[in-house]
């Protein structure tokens, strides 16, 4: 599992080099690259790295497509009204189209870092509040 994480982290770092300023829609998420999905008109692929500091939250949200990724640096997360639970380094991330997810805050004193790839409808927001 460690070698997969290292490959993804290296790929993320290399991908950032040629693109200068990266798009960003929240202070936690830094977009690395956005390209059209070949063979699928109206779809695009977006890769990002996000960092959430202790006490910061990811609100409950959906995507207009699929989100996949990996936890680069894990920590503890807490859903409202629940005990904190581990969100371990190396854990896979997979969220399907229009399925609400997240809604947690970082518990403890460790920054959580995520690498994500979204395959989403072009022209729509990367994420939205659930309906």
Q: pLDDT, tens digit, for every residue of 3-43?
A: 554 434 444 443 333 333 334 467 899 999 999 999 999 99
Q: Judge residue 24's burial from the number of C-beta atoms within 10 Å of its C-beta, 0-12 exposed, 13-18 middle, 19 or more buried.
A: exposed
Domains and CATH numbers, the chain: 2-121 (2.60.120.10)
Rounded-to-integer distance, Cα 66 and Cα 55, Å: 27
What is the value of pTM for the model shown?
0.80
Question: Phi and psi (nearest 5°) for 66?
Answer: -105, 140
């Amino acid at each position: 599992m460690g070698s997969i994480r290292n490959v993804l982290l290296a790929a993320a770092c290399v991908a950032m080099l040629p693109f200068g300023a990266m798009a960003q829609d929240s202070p936690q998420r830094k977009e690395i690259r956005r390209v059209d999905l070949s063979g699928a008109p109206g779809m695009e692929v977006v890769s990002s790295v996000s960092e959430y500091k202790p006490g910061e939250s990811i609100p409950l949200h959906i995507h207009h497509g699929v989100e996949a990724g990996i936890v680069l640096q894990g920590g503890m997360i807490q859903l409202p009204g629940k005990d904190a639970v581990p969100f371990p380094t190396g854990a896979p991330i997979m969220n399907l189209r229009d399925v609400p997810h997240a809604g947690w805050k970082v518990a403890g004193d460790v920054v959580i870092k995520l690498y994500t790839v979204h395959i989403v409808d072009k022209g729509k927001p990367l994420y939205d509040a659930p309906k």
